[in-house]
Amino acid sequence: MDFFPTMQLGLIMKNILVTGGAGFIGSNFVRYLLKAEQNAHVYNLDALTYAGSLENLRNLPDDSRHTFIEGNICNLELIQTLLHNYPIDSIVHFAAESHVDRSILGPAPFMQTNVLGTFTLLEAARQVWGRERSDKRFHHVSTDEVFGSLSAHEAAFTESTPYDPRSPYSASKASSDHLVRAYFHTYQLPVTITNCSNNYGAYQFPEKLIPLMIMNALQGKPLPVYGDGLQIRDWLYVEDHCEAIYLALTKGTRGETYNVGGNNQLTNIELVKKICEILDELQPMQKPYASFIEHVTDRPGHDSRYAMDSTKIKNELGWTPSYTIERGLRETVEWHLSNSAWVKSGLARAGYDDWLDTNYQRRKEEL
Ligand code: NAD
Ligand code: TYD
């Protein structure tokens, strides 16, 4: 499947408000959209929290069709002004606090941004778009974590699996999903939702497993695996995810939810060892990178397995992931090796060292 397919579109988008477009997936999606929609203009609203950076938006395919607005999704007046001043026909909502470990140590910002921020966006769209909404779309990006945790042999999550969130992060995302559906049923706001599995790829902040392991390894630092490392995630390459969002946005049915999985289930320890093997080949050290692996205190309430059944989006929208974990991981490691300026800026971001200290050194005392 082509990364930027030419396709018969159901919805013609010209002016798209992307929230959280300076973050990991959002910035990848901005790139995707500027290439896929040659006439589209992207309005990118991002508060530039610790997780967002303008470094993620360098060298866009066509910068003249990209407008960056620094601002908060909790600011109703700002969103109303944007929807009044620009002819926005679609909103693609990524902005969120996204890291489970941070939600355990400090849940308040998660409730503020993920719950109240989503509510604010929905309310602004309802008010400003009024009743003429046939050419509009509000697409909400959510997570597999809302479905809870699976045991090793349970069937993968489907769109009808009951919600069972177990961390402050997943509970806040579940709340946001409920609000989005409520606005569809109550006010007929034209919404779609995608719930995806763990993403990886270029521009991911090194607090998440894969970039953290790559960057620690390159600095000769320990590779901290939580607990026994036998937890399973279903890894989705970010470019595959962008394509799925684009399809749901342009061809998805209003009010519907689509599960998006990578079809790549691995234990954390298997995954870290694969990263080490790729690094051993591409940037060998005196000893194997795997010798830096350390098992550390487990995450409280650690979900043991996520897995997504993507049959619906395959059957209805023709999407399947094109990346195997081997190809995606290799490209991700190569990207880090050839983008040393970005890697340096990621490691230098304000508060990053404090975060490493809080999460990895003082975790036990702070809980
Ligand atoms: P990220 O943490 O890399 O980026 C989040 C972005 O949102 C940042 O640029 C940040 O500055 C911005 N932001 C945060 N609070 C804001 C606010 N109040 N107002 C405006 N902007 C704000 O996150 P990501 O990994 O790119 O995730 C994007 C979305 O995808 C999130 O909604 C997340 O829940 C969802 N998701 C992510 C994954 C994953 O593996 N990364 C998996 C499933 C779902
Ligand atoms: P993460 O990237 O934080 O995503 P999520 O918690 O949303 O799945 O973590 C992925 C898995 O890796 C998860 O099971 C926790 C584990 N993990 C570690 O073992 N060590 C680490 O340093 C981190 C950040 C995560």
Listed range (2-16, 27-41, 144-158, 272-286) with the worst mean pLDDT: 2-16
Nearest CA to ligand 2 atom 3: 208
Q: Exposed, middle or buried: residue 48 (CB in 10 Å: 0-12, 13-18, 19+)?
A: middle
pLDDT at residue 261 in the model = 98
Residue 12 pLDDT grade (very low, low, confident, very high; cuts 50, 70, 90):
low
| Yes or no: domain 15-201+236-261+301-322 corresponds to CATH 3.40.50.720 | yes
Residue 88: CB atoms within 10 Å: 21
The predicted-structure confidence for 282-340, as pLDDT tens digits, reads as follows 999 999 999 999 999 999 999 999 999 999 999 999 999 999 999 999 999 999 999 99
Q: Which residues contact 121 (CB under 8 A, 6 or more apart)?
A: 19, 73, 79, 91, 93, 138
The reported pLDDT for the residue numbered 281 is: 98
Percentage of the chain lying above the pLDDT 70 cut? 95
- What pLDDT, on a 0 to 100 scale, did the predictor assign at position 364? 52
Q: Kindly report the CA angle at 265 between 314 and 272, in degrees rounded to 5?
A: 140
Average pLDDT on 130-151 reads: 94
Average pLDDT on 95-101 reads 98
Q: Are 321 and 236 in contact (CB under 8 A)?
A: yes
C-alpha 94 to ligand 1 mean position (Å): 5
Please give the radius of gyration of the chain, using alpha carbons only, rounded to the nearest integer.
Answer: 20
pLDDT of residue 3: 33
Instruction: Give backbone dihedrals phi and psi of 208, rounded to 5 degrees, phi first.
Output: -90, 160
Can you give the pLDDT at residue 82?
98
- Delimit the domains of the chain by residue range: 15-201+236-261+301-322
140 lines ligand 2 (CB under 6 A): no
CB 196 within 8 A of CB 248: no
Closest to 193 in 3D by CA, of 185, 204, 201: 185
Number of neighbours of residue 338 by Cβ within 10 angstroms: 9
Distance 108 CA to ligand 2 centre (A): 20
CA dist 142 and 196 (Å) reads 6
Residues carrying an active site annotation: 144-145, 169
Is the pLDDT reported for residue 366 higher than 80? no
- Number of the ligand 2 atom closest to the C-alpha atom of 213: 22
Residue bearing the CA closest to ligand 2, atom 10: 209
CA–chain centroid gap for 114, Å, is 13
Q: Ligand 1 pocket check: which of 31, 43, 49 to mutate, most ligand atoms within 8 Å of Cβ? A: 49
pLDDT of 346 higher than 80: yes
Is residue 7's pLDDT more than 80? no
Identify the weakest region by mean pLDDT among 69-73, 276-280, 357-361: 357-361
Summarised one tens digit per residue, pLDDT across range 25-54 is 999 999 999 999 999 999 999 999 999 999
- 241-262: per-residue pLDDT in tens? 999 999 999 999 999 999 999 9
Q: Which amino acid is at 244?
A: A
Mean pLDDT of the chain: 94
Say whether pLDDT at 367 is over 50. Answer: no
Measured from the Cα of 21, ligand 1's closest atom is 9
Model confidence, pTM = 0.96
State residue 361's pLDDT score: 84
Q: Would you give the DSSP letter of residue 103? A: H
